[in-house]
């Protein structure tokens, strides 16, 4: 049987041709009868759907992926995974490379492509770290996501809580969730 595997790790991948839908369409075109998908980073060794897929693969089956970095983002992880599949009698077909076989040439191509995937991942991590370091030097920089509610909205909610209103009542009046109100109130008490 021919199985497909698709993976995304970021929302941005939908814009650069790596969306799950785009991958699934390519996999179906390549003959995949059943497709497993994950929305997990490729750096994770255990991904729920990939683990399920590996569990059902049998001698003579084929696994198809659009690109090698969809199945592994590090050289070691990729070698281990692909070697275990090949030993199990499973063919690995990477659409932008072809079938990966157990020949010396096949191993060389696999290792070079996995090295590029790992290099790309490392470069992304380095650029992210550099960007954060530059941003931290900017006045007014605050790490994390932006606050959903303004200071005025939170102050108003805190004043309502000081009266005889319950968290539930203030949440209904302001639209700010009870858990956010509790967290903000505790933050003020510190």
Look at residue 54 in the predicted model and tell me its pLDDT: 94
Mean pLDDT score of the chain, rounded to an integer? 87
- List beta partners, residue 38: 7
pLDDT in tens, 78-129: 888 888 999 999 999 999 888 888 889 888 988 888 888 889 888 988 998 9
DSSP 35-82: EEEEES-TT-S--HHHHHHHHH--TT-EEEESSGGGT-SSHHHHHHHH
Look at residue 72 in the predicted model and tell me its pLDDT: 83
pLDDT at 55 over 50: yes
* Entry pTM: 0.64
DSSP 76-142: HHHHHHHHHHHHTT-EEEETTTEEE-SSHHHHHHHHHHHHHHHHHHHHHHHHHHHHHHHHHTSTT--
Share of the chain above pLDDT 70, in %: 92
Q: Identify whether 164 is a catalytic site residue.
A: no
- 162 or 33, which is more confident? 33
With cut-offs at 50, 70 and 90, classify the pLDDT of residue 31. very high
Look at residue 49 in the predicted model and tell me its pLDDT: 92
C-alpha distance from residue 54 to each of 25, 26, 62, 84, 158 (Å): 21, 20, 11, 10, 52
User: 9, 19, 74, 84: which one is catalytic?
Assistant: 9
Look at residue 103 in the predicted model and tell me its pLDDT: 85
- 185 or 1, which is more confident? 1
All residues at 6 or more sequence positions from 119 whose CB lies less than 8 Å from its CB, including other chains = none
pLDDT at 39 over 60: yes
- List beta partners, residue 8: 39
Look at residue 190 in the predicted model and tell me its pLDDT: 44
């Amino acid at each position: 049987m021919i199985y497909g595997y698709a993976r995304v790790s970021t929302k941005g991948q939908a814009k650069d041709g790596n969306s799950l839908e785009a991958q699934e369409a390519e996999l179906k075109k390549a003959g995949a009868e059943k497709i497993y998908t994950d929305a997990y980073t490729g750096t994770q060794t255990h991904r729920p759907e990939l683990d399920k897929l590996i569990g059902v693969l049998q001698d003579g089956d084929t696994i198809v992926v659009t690109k090698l970095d969809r199945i592994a983002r590090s050289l070691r992880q990729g070698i281990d995974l692909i070697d275990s599949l090949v030993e199990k009698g499973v063919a690995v077909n990477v659409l932008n490379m072809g079938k990966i076989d157990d020949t010396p040439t096949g191993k060389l191509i696999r290792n070079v492509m996995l090295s590029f995937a790992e290099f790309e991942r490392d470069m992304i991590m380095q650029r992210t770290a550099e960007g954060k370091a530059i941003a931290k030097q900017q006045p007014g920089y605050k790490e994390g996501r932006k606050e959903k509610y303004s200071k005025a909205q939170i102050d108003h909610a805190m004043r309502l809580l000081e009266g005889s209103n319950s968290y539930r009542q203030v949440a209904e009046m302001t639209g700010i969730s009870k858990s956010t109100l509790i967290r903000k109130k505790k933050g003020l008490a510190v």
